[in-house]
C-alpha cells in the first residue's frame, strides 16, 4: 500500500475486508462513498498472483480507474467496445502471460462466451463486483444485466467474489447475497455517517437567486447542481453565466465529445459549477467537490445519499443543500407513475419518494434520519451539522391543534391529503371545498391562524408520531390510526414543533479550514502547472487533503515530505523537489 499508494494507514474496515478476501472468503462490503472501496480489491489483486476481474457498470469510470492504476505502476486495463484491435490483443496477451493484474469489464461483457473462453486461459483469483446494489430490484439503480452475473459466478465456482456498494438497505444486502450466490459471505458494513458533510434543506423559493447568492459566497470551491431535466440544466447554467459565474450544463442529450469536455473542465478545475442531470457524477471520481445543491429533490434517499456523497470525498468539509418544494414531489410522483404504471415497481418507487419527502419535512436531525434509513442507529440525538440541529425547532404542547386536525380528518372520512385538510381548516373558498360542501363541516375555518406549510409539517409530524397514517401511493391520503382516535377522546397530550412562522434556515455558513490558506493556494498553483506539464489531472498528483497537510506541517526536506499521507516513494521522487521548493520559500 505504501509503495503504490503512499497511504500510511488503512481507513476503517479496509484491513478487515482485505484480510477476508485474501483468506478466500466471499465478501460483501458496504462502505460509504469516499471511504476507500477500491483499495479493498486493488490491494488483494497485488498481494496474490493471478488476475482480478472488476465488474463495473460505467465505462467512463473504468477509464479513470485504469489511468489511476497505471499511474501508480499497476498493470491494469479495461475491455470495452471503445478498445481497438491492438488494445484487445495486448489485453489477451496480458491475460495469457499473467502480467495483467486488474481487468475492468461491464456486466454484459463478463458473460459473453468469447470473453469467458479468454478468461479460462488465465489464473483468475478474484472477482470484484462494484456498485453491487444494481443487482437488486429493491435498490435504487436496478440494472437487469447485473442479474446475468450469476453465469460468471457459476463458470468460476472456486474464485473468491467480493461485492461492493456504497448504498444498500438491509433488504438489498440480502438480495445481493442471494442473486450472486455468495457462499457464507463475510459482511462488512461501514458507517454511513459522512461526518464532514453538512446537510441542509431549504424551501424552494427563487432557487436561482438563492444559488447565485450561495455561489457568490463560495467563489473558490467547485460544486454540482443537480437538476431534474435537461432544460433545467441549460437554463440554470445560462442564468449563472449571465450573472458572471463559471457554469456549464451536463446532460445525456449532449454529444459524447461535449460531455467529455465538460467533465474534463470540471476535473481540471477550470469551471466552478456543473448544472447536471443525475447522469453526471457516476463517471467521475473527484475528491475535492465542495458542495452539491439539489435543485429538485431526488427520487430516493439512496440517490440523495449517493449524489451528496460526491462532495467532500477528500475528507474536507462539504455542503449538501436541497431545495424542496411540494410541487416537485408531486411531479416526481406522476413521473414515477408514468415510468412504471402500476405493480410492485411503482409501489417501491413511491415508497422511496415518500421517505425522501419525509426527510425534507422532518424537524429532527437529518443525519439521524439518513442513517436510520440505512439501518444504522445514530448514537446521538443531534449531530450539530445539519440545519435542523443548528436551528432546532422548539416543541410545544399542540394538543388543541392536533385534535382539530384529527376532527377534520374524521369529517373527511380519511379520504384526502394534507393540502385539502389544511384548506378546510383555513376556510378556503376554493371550488374543491365549496363544490363538495366541505364549507358546511363544523371544522371549516376553525384553524385560520395557521399556514398551509404549518399544517403540512404538523401532519407529517403526526404521521411520524403514529397518530395519523398515510396511505395510497400516488395521491397519499391521511387517515386516523387507533392512537389518533385516542387523541379525539382527549386522552393524550401532543407535542409538535412550536407554531412560529419559523425563520427560514440560514444559508450554510462557509466552513473554515485551518491550514495556511496562502501557502495552500501556492501549492495548488504548482500542482496545476505540473498537471499541465505531465498531462494528468491535478488531484492525481496530490489531492487537496495532501496539500492542506503540507501547508499545515510545512516539511522542509524529503524525509519530512514523506511523512505526509498520500506521498509515496514514487510521487516523492517525481514531484517532491518541486513542492519542496515552494515549501522552503514559504
Ligand atoms: P469509494 O470507492 O469507496 O467511493 P475510493 O476507493 O474512490 O472510494 O477512495 C476515496 C478516496 O480515498 C480516494 O481519493 C483514495 O485515494 C482515498 N483513500 C482510500 N484509501 C485510503 C487510505 N487507506 N488512506 C488514505 N487515503 C485513502
Ligand atoms: Zn443533525
pLDDT tens sequence across 511-553: 445 557 888 889 999 999 998 888 888 888 998 888 988 888 7
Atom of ligand 1 nearest to the CA of 37: 3
The listed CATH number (3.30.70.2190, 1.10.150.80, 3.90.1150.10, 3.10.20.90) that belongs to domain 517-585: 1.10.150.80
Cα of 390 from ligand 1 centre, angstroms? 30
- Domains 2-189 and 197-390 belong to one CATH topology: yes
pLDDT at residue 282, rounded to an integer = 64
Confidence grade of residue 204 (pLDDT, cut at 50, 70, 90): very high
CA of 35 to the centre of ligand 1 (A): 6
Look-up of cell digits 518541486: 578
Domain 2-189 falls in which CATH fold? Rossmann fold (3.40.50)
> Considering only CA atoms, which of 328, 295, 320 is closest in space to residue 209?
295
Q: What local confidence, expressed as pLDDT, does residue 70 receive? A: 94
Q: Is 28 helix (H, G, I), strand (E, B) or coil?
A: strand
Residues near ligand 1 (Cβ within 6 A): 7, 10-11, 14, 31, 33-39, 285, 287, 313, 543, 565
CA angle 172, 175, 176 (to 5 degrees): 90
Q: Can you tell me which atom of ligand 1 is nearest the CA of 40?
A: 6
Residue 182 and residue 135: Cα distance in Å, rounded? 13
Residues 6 or more apart whose CB falls under 8 angstroms from that of 545 comprise 287, 314, 315, 316, 565, 566
Distance between CA 467 and CA 487 in Å, rounded?
8
Q: Is domain 395-497 classified as CATH 3.10.20.600?
A: no
Per residue in 81-96, pLDDT (tens digit) is 888 889 899 999 999 9
Q: What is the mean pLDDT of residues 349-370?
A: 91
CATH of 197-390 among 3.20.20.70, 3.90.79.10, 3.40.50.1220, 3.40.50.300? 3.40.50.300
Helix (H) or strand (E) holding 347: helix 343-361
Atom of ligand 1 at shortest range from CA of 14: 23
Ligand nearest to the CA of 13: 1
Ligand 2 centroid–CA 108 distance in Å is 41
Centroid of ligand 1 to alpha carbon of 311 (angstroms): 13
Distance 221 CA to ligand 2 centre (A): 23
285 CA closest ligand 1 atom index: 7
Residue ranges per domain, the chain? Answer: 2-189, 197-390, 395-497, 517-585
Stronger pLDDT, 274 or 465, i.e. the higher one: 274
| Region label for 34, one of left (φ > 0), alpha (ψ between -120 and 50) or beta (otherwise) | left
- The DSSP secondary structure of 51-119, one letter per residue, reads EEEEE-S-HHHHHHHHHHHHHTT--EEE--TTS-HHHHHHHHHHHHHT---EEEE-HHHHT-HHHHHHH
From 4, 13, 39, give the residue whose CB has the most ligand 1 atoms within 8 Å, as the site to mutate: 39
- On the question of pLDDT at 137 being above 90, the answer is no
| Closest atom, ligand 1, to C-alpha of 130 | 2
Instruction: pLDDT band for 500, please (50, 70, 90 cuts).
Output: low
User: Of the given ranges (68-77, 103-112, 118-127, 284-293), which has the lowest mean pLDDT?
Assistant: 284-293
For the question of whether the overall pTM of this predicted structure is more than 0.85, the answer is: no
Amino acid at each position: 500500500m505504501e509503495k503504490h499508494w503512499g497511504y500510511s494507514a488503512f481507513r476503517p474496515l479496509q484491513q478487515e475486508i482485505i484480510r477476508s478476501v485474501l483468506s478466500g472468503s466471499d465478501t460483501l462490503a458496504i462502505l460509504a462513498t469516499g471511504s476507500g472501496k477500491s483499495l479493498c480489491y486493488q490491494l488483494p489483486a497485488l498481494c496474490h498472483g493471478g488476475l482480478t476481474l472488476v465488474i463495473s457498470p460505467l465505462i467512463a469510470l473504468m477509464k479513470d480507474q485504469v489511468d489511476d492504476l497505471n499511474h501508480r505502476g499497476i498493470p491494469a486495463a479495461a475491455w470495452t467496445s471503445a478498445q481497438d484491435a491492438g488494445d484487445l490483443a495486448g489485453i489477451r496477451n496480458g491475460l495469457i502471460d499473467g502480467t495483467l493484474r486488474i481487468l475492468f469489464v461491464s456486466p454484459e461483457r463478463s458473460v459473453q462466451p468469447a470473453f469467458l473462453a479468454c478468461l479460462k486461459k488465465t489464473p483468475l483469483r478474484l472477482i470484484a463486483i462494484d456498485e453491487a446494489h444494481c443487482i437488486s430490484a429493491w435498490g435504487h439503480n436496478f440494472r437487469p444485466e447485473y442479474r446475468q452475473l450469476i453465469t460468471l459466478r457459476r463458470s468460476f465456482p472456486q474464485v473468491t467474489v467480493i461485492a461492493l456498494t456504497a448504498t444498500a438497505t438491509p433488504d438489498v444486502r440480502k438480495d445481493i447475497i442471494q442473486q450472486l450466490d455468495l457462499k457464507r459471505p463475510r459482511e462488512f458494513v461501514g458507517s454511513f455517517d459522512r461526518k464532514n458533510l453538512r446537510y441542509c434543506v431549504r424551501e424552494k423559493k427563487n432557487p436561482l437567486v438563492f444559488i447565485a447568492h450561495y455561489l457568490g459566497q463560495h467563489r473558490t470551491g467547485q460544486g454540482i447542481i443537480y437538476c431534474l431535466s435537461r432544460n433545467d440544466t441549460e437554463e440554470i447554467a445560462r442564468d449563472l453565466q449571465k450573472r458572471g459565474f463559471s457554469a456549464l450544463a451536463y446532460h445525456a442529450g449532449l454529444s459524447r465529445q461535449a460531455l467529455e469536455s465538460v467533465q474534463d473542465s470540471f476535473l481540471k478545475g477550470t469551471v466552478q459549477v456543473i448544472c447536471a442531470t443525475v447522469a453526471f457524477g457516476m463517471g467521475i471520481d473527484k475528491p475535492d467537490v465542495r458542495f452539491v445543491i439539489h435543485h429538485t429533490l431526488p427520487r430516493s434517499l439512496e440517490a440523495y445519499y449517493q449524489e451528496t456523497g460526491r462532495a467532500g470525498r477528500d475528507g474536507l468539509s462539504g455542503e449538501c443543500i436541497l431545495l424542496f418544494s411540494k410541487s416537485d414531489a408531486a411531479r416526481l410522483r406522476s413521473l414515477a407513475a408514468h415510468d412504471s404504471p402500476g405493480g410492485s415497481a411503482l409501489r417501491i418507487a413511491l415508497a422511496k419518494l415518500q421517505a425522501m419527502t419525509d426527510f425534507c419535512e422532518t424537524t429532527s436531525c437529518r443525519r439521524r434520519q439518513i442513517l436510520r434509513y440505512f439501518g444504522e442507529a445514530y448514537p446521538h440525538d443531534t449531530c450539530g451539522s445539519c440545519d435542523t440541529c443548528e436551528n432546532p425547532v422548539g416543541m410545544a404542547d399542540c394538543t388543541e391543534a392536533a385534535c382539530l386536525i384529527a376532527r377534520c380528518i374524521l369529517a373527511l372520512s380519511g379520504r384526502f391529503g394534507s393540502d385539502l385538510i389544511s384548506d378546510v381548516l383555513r376556510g378556503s373558498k376554493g371550488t374543491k371545498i365549496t363544490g363538495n360542501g366541505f364549507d358546511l363541516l363544523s371544522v371549516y375555518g376553525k384553524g385560520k391562524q395557521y399556514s398551509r406549510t404549518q399544517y403540512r409539517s404538523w401532519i407529517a409530524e403526526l404521521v411520524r408520531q403514529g397518530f395519523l397514517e398515510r396511505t395510497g401511493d400516488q395521491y397519499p391520503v391521511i387517515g386516523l390510526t387507533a392512537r389518533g382516535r385516542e387523541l379525539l377522546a382527549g386522552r393524550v397530550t401532543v407535542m409538535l414543533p412550536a407554531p412560529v412562522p419559523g425563520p427560514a434556515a440560514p444559508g450554510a455558513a462557509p466552513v473554515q479550514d485551518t491550514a495556511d490558506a496562502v501557502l495552500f493556494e501556492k501549492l495548488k498553483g504548482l500542482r496545476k502547472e505540473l498537471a499541465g506539464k505531465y498531462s494528468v489531472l491535478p488531484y492525481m498528483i496530490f489531492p487537496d487533503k495532501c496539500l492542506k497537510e503540507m501547508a499545515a506541517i510545512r516539511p522542509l526536506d524529503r524525509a519530512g515530505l514523506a511523512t505526509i499521507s498520500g506521498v509515496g516513494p514514487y510521487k516523492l521522487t517525481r514531484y517532491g523537489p518541486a513542492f519542496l521548493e515552494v515549501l522552503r520559500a514559504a
